[in-house]
Amino acid sequence: MAVKSIDGSVSPEVTGDPRWAAVRKVADSSHFLRAALLRDFLFYIAENELSRHPEEITEQKIGHRVYRRNEVYSPADDNIVRVSANQLRAKLREFYETEGKDEPWIIEIPKGKYVPVFHERAAPKIEAPSGAPKRVTASAGRWLFAAAIITVTAIFAATRLYHPKPGLANPTAAPNLITLIFHDSTDPVEVVQSDEALTLMQSILGRRITFEEYTSQSYRQNPPAFKGNQQMEDLWHVLSMRQIINVGDAGVSTRIRDSLSALGPTPLVRIHSAQNMRPRDFLSGNFILLGDSSSDPWVQMFGESRFNFQFDPDISHFPRHILNVHPKAGELGYYAADPSHNLSYARIAYIPNVTKTGRVLLIAGTTMEGTEAAADFCLQPDSISILRHYLGIGDVKELPAFEVLLVTSAEGGTGIEAHLVAARTSSSPSR
């Protein structure tokens, strides 16, 4: 699946540069298929370097332009760019060690810097022909043909294909669970990301911050136990004033937006931090909530007790686990993450909103990677058929309310795969 192009917003001077074609080749590779923000990171620094604006390639500006941090945010308090730069370097190495091993240009990001460096590979020496001409083998011919097609396609795409008409859906966009649920909605779909600052604060306290403390904002005040401890008071103040989004949620939110945007101008997708939401926001409309109630407290608006697959409320328990309230034959009573094998569990639940006037999709894992893998499962074209099979609902038009339990795997801190383990259905959500 090709990545979404940005060529339409890039100057002809840059798109005509062979180094930009190298950037696009990297971005279109399988290594960046599930790394939308790292792809945007690469595009941003490459475009500014090739357009001769290296002054725009700073940690502060990357954080603001790529990761949507406040324009005056402090990189010293938020290391998102440094962490992401290391991930980008690793993915570039992987690309050039595998499918990019024969690429004519190599892109590097020197350690401690963000300005990309482009190296041109030395062309292989070609010996002068002697005797009878050598016959091109079938495999070599296919390789040359494929290379020619890729080159022509890249040139054609840069000049025409990456200028879509406004408001038109991508005709090749495959339907998935997300688009099936929200495709006919005229109301916006609000994606609510988990609050990582809250997760850190709860870890420091050793207890969950209650829903009442969160909604009233009283949790932001320095705890009495920190009185007189300037370091802890300063740390608490920093966390209470920062919006921290984990990398998994950020990437998933972008992929959800892109998937629904392929349908056309509606439904509109809006992405929020849990910190910016208020109880009245959930009375109507459509929502996709990422994370369980300990990291996204707004899940509590829909009642954890209503579900068969319930997250352990005690955040001190490690590894996290999901309770199966009413196990069926062959099911376990609870499912615990296995960090040693990069395995975790996740729940996806589809229910009506508080006033039964819209739809809500809850996606949460026992780890950040579990949430990411579960969300990506929802975006896969085969998610609909797999879900229908597990729920035993065939091709009925209206999806019933459901909850499913998934086992997920991770690699390098990224959710990779998710497979259904168990499922439950209830009455259909109101439309």
Q: Stretch 254-283: mean pLDDT, rounded?
A: 92
Residues 6+ apart with CB under 8 A from 48: 54, 56, 57
Strands (E), 152-258: 189-193
Q: For residue 312, give the nearest of 322, 303, 325, 299 by alpha carbon.
A: 322
The model's pLDDT over 173-194, given as tens digits with 9 standing for 90+, comes to 578 999 999 998 889 999 999 9
Is residue 71 within 8 Å of residue 64, measured between CB atoms? yes
The model's pLDDT over 358-398, given as tens digits with 9 standing for 90+, comes to 999 999 999 999 999 999 999 998 899 999 988 888 877 78
d(CA 307, CA 210): 20
Q: Stretch 31-35: mean pLDDT, rounded?
A: 81
Q: So what's the pLDDT on residue 166?
A: 35
Is residue 370 within 8 Å of residue 345, measured between CB atoms? yes
Q: Stretch 337-362: mean pLDDT, rounded?
A: 92
76 φ/ψ angles, rounded to the nearest 5 degrees: -65, -30
Q: So what's the pLDDT on residue 32?
A: 87
Q: So what's the pLDDT on residue 83?
A: 85
Q: So what's the pLDDT on residue 16?
A: 86
Q: So what's the pLDDT on residue 41?
A: 93
The pLDDT of residue 2 is above 50: no
Q: Stretch 228-241: mean pLDDT, rounded?
A: 91
Q: Where are the domains of the chain?
A: 7-122+139-161, 177-195+243-425
The pLDDT of residue 297 is above 80: yes
The pLDDT of residue 311 is above 60: yes
Whole-prediction pTM: 0.60
Q: What is the DSSP string of 36-104?
A: HHHHHHHHHHHHHHHTT-GGG-SHHHHHHHTT---TT--TTT--HHHHHHHHHHHHHHHHHHTTTTT-S
Percent of the chain whose pLDDT exceeds 70: 85
* Rg of the chain over all Cα atoms, to the nearest angstrom: 24
Q: So what's the pLDDT on residue 404?
A: 95
d(CA 284, CA 359): 9
The model's pLDDT over 86-133, given as tens digits with 9 standing for 90+, comes to 889 989 988 998 988 889 999 999 988 999 999 987 654 434 334 433
Range scoring the smallest mean pLDDT among 143-147, 171-175, 176-180, 334-338: 143-147
Q: How far does the chain reach from its first CA to its final CA, in angstroms?
A: 32
Bridge partner list, 269: 189
The pLDDT of residue 313 is above 80: yes
Q: Stretch 296-316: mean pLDDT, rounded?
A: 91
The pLDDT of residue 154 is above 70: no
The HSE-up count of residue 47 (CA atoms within 13 Å, CB side) is: 21
Percent of the chain whose pLDDT exceeds 90: 51
As assigned by CATH, the class of the 177-195+243-425 domain is alpha beta
Bridge partner list, 346: 365, 406
